[in-house]
Amino acid sequence: MEISAIQNEIKNWKSKLDKEISTSWRSPSNIALLKYWGKRQGQLPLNPSLSFSLSEAHTTTKLTAVPDAINAGISSLNKDIYHPFLNKIHPYWQYVINEIPLLQHYSIAIETENTFPHSAGIASSASGFSALATALLDLAQMLSGNKLAKEDFYKNASSLARMGSGSACRSVYGGFTLWGKSSEWPGSSDLYAIDINAMIHPSFRQLHDAILLVSAKEKSLSSSHGHSLMNEHPFAAGRLLQANNHLELFRKALAEGDLELLSQISENEALSLHALIMSSKGGSILLEPSSLVLIQRIRAARQKGLAVFFTIDAGPNIHMIYPESEKEKLAAFIHDELSDICQENKVIFDFCGKGAVKMNENV
C-alpha cells in the first residue's frame, strides 16, 4: 500500500473514532417477593409482581456506537463478533429500533460483565437487560441531544428492559418496585415498573438476601417455557386471584413494617410458584431435597424468634430474607445450621440497593 493510501486509511479511522460515542451503565439484579409467573402477548404479565433490587449482584454494560449505515446493529459482544448471545439478542434489537429508530443507523459494540457467576441462582437476565436498556436509552439521548426528565427516562428504560426479560423492568429502580396493573395502585402499569419506596416502612428499607446455594446446575425449566405453561394451566384463574389478594397484603405488611405478615405471604408466594410449576404440563420439580431441609430449618428458626423468612425463584436455591437488625444473629445461624447443606458451603450475601446508574458521566 502506498504512503498516501495508508494516510487516507488512518484519516478514515480517525474521523470514525471522532464520532464514536460511549456510555456505560450499572444495574442490579432483583428478588421478587410477589412472583411474576405467566405472560400475555407483548411481554405483559399475567399478574402484578413486587421485588426489591439487590446491591452486590449487578451487571455493568458499556455501549460504543459508531455511525455505520451498512453494518448497523449490534456488532459484537465482549469483542466477540460470533458470540452465541448475539443471535438471541436479534429479536430484541428489532424491538429497540422500532421504538428508537435513530439507533438503526449505528453499529453498536457491547461490553458487559456481571459481579456474580451465571450459576449463582441470581437472575442475570434482570440486571443484564436493565443495564442494556438504560445504556441504549442514554445512547439515544446523547445522539439526539434530547434529554428526558429523570422520571420519564426510568419509565421508558423500564419498558425497554421489560421486552428483554420481564423481571428486568423492576431492576431499573432501587429499593422496592411494583410491575403490573392493579386498580388498587394508582400509576401501576403492565408496561413498566414503578418505584414504591415512599410507602415502605423504614425497618424494611434495608432488607438482606442471603442466597443459600443448593445447586449451580443449569435450570431444567427455562423461564420463558415456564411462563408459557401458564397459558393452559388449570389453576391460572385462581393464581390471578391469589396474586392480587397477596398484593394487598404486601401493601399492608410493607407499609406497617409487619414482618410476620410479610414472611407468611412471601413464603406462600414462593411455594405457590413451585406448586404452579409442579402442576404445569410436564410437571417439573425444581426443588432439591436440600431446598426442603433449608426451608424447614428457616421456619424452625423463625418459630424460635429469629426474624427471617425465605423466598425462591424458579430454581432450587433458597433466598433467605431478613432485616438489617438481625444481621449478626443470622450470620451465626447460617454458619451453625445452614451452610453445611449448601453446595460447597456456598452462601452469597446481598442486600437491598440502588437501581441503574450511569458510570461515565464524562464520556
Residues that bind ligand PMV (CB under 6 A): 32, 35-37, 49, 123, 125, 165-167, 223, 227, 273, 313-314
Q: How far is the CB of 227 from ligand PMV (least distance, A)?
A: 6
Query: Could you tell me if 24 and 363 are in contact, meaning their C-beta atoms sit under 8 angstroms apart?
Result: yes
φ and ψ of 26, to 5 deg: -115, 135
Q: How far is the CB of 167 from ligand PMV (least distance, A)?
A: 3
**Local structure of 50: helix, strand or coil:** strand
Q: Which is nearer to ligand PMV, 26 or 170 (CB)?
A: 170
Q: Which is nearer to ligand PMV, 103 or 276 (CB)?
A: 276
Q: Where are the beta strands (DSSP E) in 281-330?
A: 309-311, 318-323
Q: Which is nearer to ligand PMV, 125 or 189 (CB)?
A: 125
Burial of 266 (C-beta count, 10 Å sphere; 0-12/13-18/19+): buried
**Local structure of 65: helix, strand or coil:** strand
**Local structure of 214: helix, strand or coil:** coil
Q: Which is nearer to ligand PMV, 35 or 297 (CB)?
A: 35
Q: Where are the beta strands (DSSP E) in 68-105?
A: 73-77
Q: How far is the CB of 208 from ligand PMV (least distance, A)?
A: 18
Burial of 226 (C-beta count, 10 Å sphere; 0-12/13-18/19+): buried
Q: How far is the CB of 6 from ligand PMV (least distance, A)?
A: 50
Q: How far is the CB of 195 from ligand PMV (least distance, A)?
A: 17
Q: Which is nearer to ligand PMV, 227 or 302 (CB)?
A: 227
Q: Nearest to residue 154, comparing CAs of 166, 171, 139, 167?
A: 171
Query: Could you tell me if 323 and 208 are in contact, meaning their C-beta atoms sit under 8 angstroms apart?
Result: yes
Q: How far is the CB of 69 from ligand PMV (least distance, A)?
A: 34
Q: Which is nearer to ligand PMV, 188 or 223 (CB)?
A: 223
Burial of 9 (C-beta count, 10 Å sphere; 0-12/13-18/19+): exposed
Cell of 72: 448497523
Q: Which is nearer to ligand PMV, 122 or 139 (CB)?
A: 122
Q: How far is the CB of 335 from ligand PMV (least distance, A)?
A: 28
Q: Which is nearer to ligand PMV, 37 or 185 (CB)?
A: 37
What are the CA-CA distances from residue 30 to residues 48, 68, 184, 323 (Å)? 15, 36, 23, 16
Q: How many CB atoms lie within 10 A of CB 161?
A: 32
What are the CA-CA distances from residue 324 to residues 30, 102, 131, 204 (Å)? 17, 45, 27, 8
Residue type (1 letter), 58: H
Q: How far is the CB of 331 from ligand PMV (least distance, A)?
A: 26
- The CA distance from 116 to 123, in Å, is 10
Q: How far is the CB of 184 from ligand PMV (least distance, A)?
A: 19
Q: Which is nearer to ligand PMV, 49 or 189 (CB)?
A: 49
**Local structure of 135: helix, strand or coil:** helix
